[in-house]
Structure 1
Amino acid sequence: MIQAEHLQKTFHVRKRNAGFKNAAKAFFSREYEEIHALNDVSFRIEDGEAVGYIGPNGAGKSSTIKILSGILTPDSGTCVIDGRVPWKDRRAHVSQIGVVFGQRSQLWWDVPVIDSFELIRDIYAVTEDVYKRNLRDLTDLLNLSEILKTPARSLSLGQRMRCEIAASLLHDPR
């Protein structure tokens, strides 16, 4: 179960105008803008429940997912996933989740996809039988057999996203 209550997250973003003169001025006097990414976000997701998390750009979707995955710590509020606080027990937490971020790849750019998968197997200490079963099932489900020996840099965006989904599920997350 995922329980998030009153999550708040604010980012302090440095501002400066363009040009060398303004860059020099900003060196001595820094200006910041506060961006309120999350303001009192609360929700509960039960085991087995499927949800969509949608909203316009800047609505806080990625910030919420980063908090849920333990990458970010909220300024205030609580989050408990399967009895763990993601940012406090991150190592145990990430072994039980799978996340795909469109702008951040789990695949090594210059090696065949299968090599990235094997590295992920080693990182998560997945047993050989679980890895083989998951690789077979994900290869069939996501139609990966033709691209497993292709370097990630040579894949189309759609092919790469299918491989990213497989990579996030190889370790058998809960």
Structure 2
Amino acid sequence: MVEKHVVVICAAVGALALAAAVLGIIGEATKSRSFVRYDGVNCVYRRTPAFDCGIAAAASLLTGQAILTAATGCWDGCRQRRSSSDHGRVGGYFASILSWFLTILSTCAFLAGALRNDSAERRPKEGVASYYQCTVLVAGVFAGASFLSIAAAAVGIASYVATEGAASTVVSPSAELRVVLGQPQQL
């Protein structure tokens, strides 16, 4: 049976990742109208809703990852540790590192997309085959970040569940002492 706090944390992290993914899809849909005009020297861009969506999605994803890391650290640190050859725990730590890597990639993509949708004046890019050589954000930045955010949350939740499962199988020292002292526990 899964402990209640594991279900609550997994649901919270899943909801935050889903929120990040939805915000990313909304950002992808609203980014297309950032270029306004060319004033003869600079390309003038206006802020789109994609800016706010990108910032909120990055914050949501980082919050979920921080919750997972804090929960794993707290409940794992409060328990007796098994030998370092425990495969479930090692796999959980590897998955946690992979989850953080995916989170960082996704956050960078969300923030890059957000910054390209902020109001600004930018110099035209040389060698760009576009109108006045003014660039716009390519399609798929927010969508890719949304996919990575779901993947990061899934790997992070799997890591948390694996670490919790490995930690819950630890036998307490008092149970071992009772058996050694001739006082077996009743199951």
Q: State TM-score, norm by structure 1.
A: 0.19
Larger radius of gyration: 2
Bigger fraction of residues in helix: 2
Q: State TM-score, norm by structure 2.
A: 0.18
